Structure 1
């Protein structure tokens, strides 16, 4: 694995952690509510995709709230596109993947008002993503991080939906007590009316983070990772 530094802020250097290069290129954003977690979360999924010949990049970003995380996301995506030749990523072959708050960041790479259209991914894969930041559970997630309702809506993927949303796969557990699965249902329904259809897969009785490869969740790790690979290789970029 090699690192590509993309920003130094407050004495800390943030990097893209490149597990493999190739086309398509999957760019992963970890979860943690924008305040915890680290870039290693999706290393098992990235390793599986790498075995299939997919390029994989794990993004390190500041866990200092959504403002810093989104700011880092936009610069990280700009770096991915600017370095796409050395990452062996063909035009229109970059995919964002994220879970929970990382799913929010994967969407913000496309939907944030300041996102550069030249750096938009060709597809997005999301696991129990934060899609609405204008409230708290169960209606939404993350309102406490914003000073005003307008600011919360500005950072809310649901409220920034438009025709440029790329093909999107969402996987969400119905027993999630951090981000209610109805948030994904609402996002998919509204996206279907304004943008590309969203493929939504609900997993009965599964909680937040059910896709992580713990001993008791190995089955769902394998199922969700295989679904991710099939979407990425066959539907989104086929």
Structure 2
């Protein structure tokens, strides 16, 4: 039986999105996979002005995955982040993925499968999209941040129709209040710690940016501080910014929308993904 803590976790993750309607995702839509007769899409946001010849042929890209407790949310959640990334010369992609039913009795396998499928689709079509297959980052908020982080470090949960010869691993991670530790949801996840990105601390974790709030009651700041400290000690890079007195999804409102977008651009610039 699902524990009450699992119910509370999903209810809290969904609270900030359930009553909201989202703008349609910007960009042009492509279908990256079809499941049970349903076409799943991603919206590609092209830079209007590359600004530098270095970005003209093979452009970096960032896949953005919305949150919502794996049961809610929509691709347009990250329109503003996509605009900022595209304005600085990288291609931004907004992802649609399958959601779990309300109060699920299953782990978010299909959510991760679709995220990994999207990463593989982008690499498989890199030539026609003029992308650098070695510079495709992933990121997202809350549960979407989990999907991106698990694709970077976890094994398994691959769509059986994917070409597994193509890597689904992001080359960098941009995470907004990400769900990195799910051990307190053990009933849902069958007591398997390997399903928590927090369990993977090693030097091979891609460069990671984490932005969150000190009063986030869903993703506790102390957990993120511990994760960043351990990741940096292992030899990987993890840039952590905790915003004082801010709660879950604080980054959607000004002045934090502009401030967090600036942090994202600075991080991606440090990796050669975007122009300054």
Give the structure-1-normalised TM-score.
0.87
| d(CA) in 2 for partners of 1:88, 1:109 | 23
Deviations 1:131-160, CA, capped at 9 Å, x for gaps:
11111xxxxxx44532x212xx12200113
2:60 paired with 1:17: no
CA contact under 8 A between 1:167 and 1:236: conserved in structure 2?
A: no
The Cα shift of 1:237 comes to 4.4
CA contact under 8 A between 1:111 and 1:161: conserved in structure 2?
A: no
Structure 1, 87-96 or 99-108: larger mean CA deviation: 87-96
CA contact under 8 A between 2:65 and 2:94: conserved in structure 1?
A: yes
Q: Which residue of 2 aligns with 1:66?
A: 108
The Cα shift of 1:99 comes to 0.8
The alignment covers a number of residue pairs equal to 225
Q: Which residue of 1 aligns with 2:254?
A: 218
| d(CA) in 1 for partners of 2:187, 2:39 | 28
CA contact under 8 A between 1:24 and 1:54: conserved in structure 2?
A: yes
Give the 5 Å matches for 1:170-185: 170-185=210-225
Task: Give SS of 2:121's match.
Answer: helix
Deviations 1:216-238, CA, capped at 9 Å, x for gaps:
x2100000001101110124648
Q: 2:82 aligns with which of 46, 56, 60?
A: 46
Q: Which residue of 1 aligns with 2:7?
A: none
CA contact under 8 A between 1:211 and 1:224: conserved in structure 2?
A: yes
Give the structure-2-normalised TM-score.
0.76
CA-atom RMSD in angstroms: 1.9
| d(CA) in 2 for partners of 1:126, 1:57 | 15
Gap change, CA 1:149 and 1:143, over 3 Å in 2: closer
| d(CA) in 2 for partners of 1:126, 1:236 | 18
2:188 paired with 1:145: yes
Q: 2:143 aligns with which of 101, 111, 116?
A: 101
Task: Give SS of 1:97's match.
Answer: strand
| d(CA) in 1 for partners of 2:61, 2:98 | 22
The Cα shift of 1:96 comes to 0.8
Deviations 1:50-86, CA, capped at 9 Å, x for gaps:
1222101111111115111011111111101111122
Structure 1, 47-56 or 106-115: larger mean CA deviation: 106-115
Q: Which residue of 1 aligns with 2:119?
A: 77
Bigger RCO (CA 8 Å, 6+ sep): 2
Deviations 1:86-119, CA, capped at 9 Å, x for gaps:
2221142111111111111111121111376733
CA contact under 8 A between 1:17 and 1:58: conserved in structure 2?
A: yes
Task: Give SS of 2:139's match.
Answer: strand
CA contact under 8 A between 2:202 and 2:236: conserved in structure 1?
A: no
Q: Which residue of 2 aligns with 1:138?
A: none
Task: Give SS of 1:132's match.
Answer: coil
| d(CA) in 2 for partners of 1:96, 1:11 | 26
CA contact under 8 A between 1:55 and 1:87: conserved in structure 2?
A: no
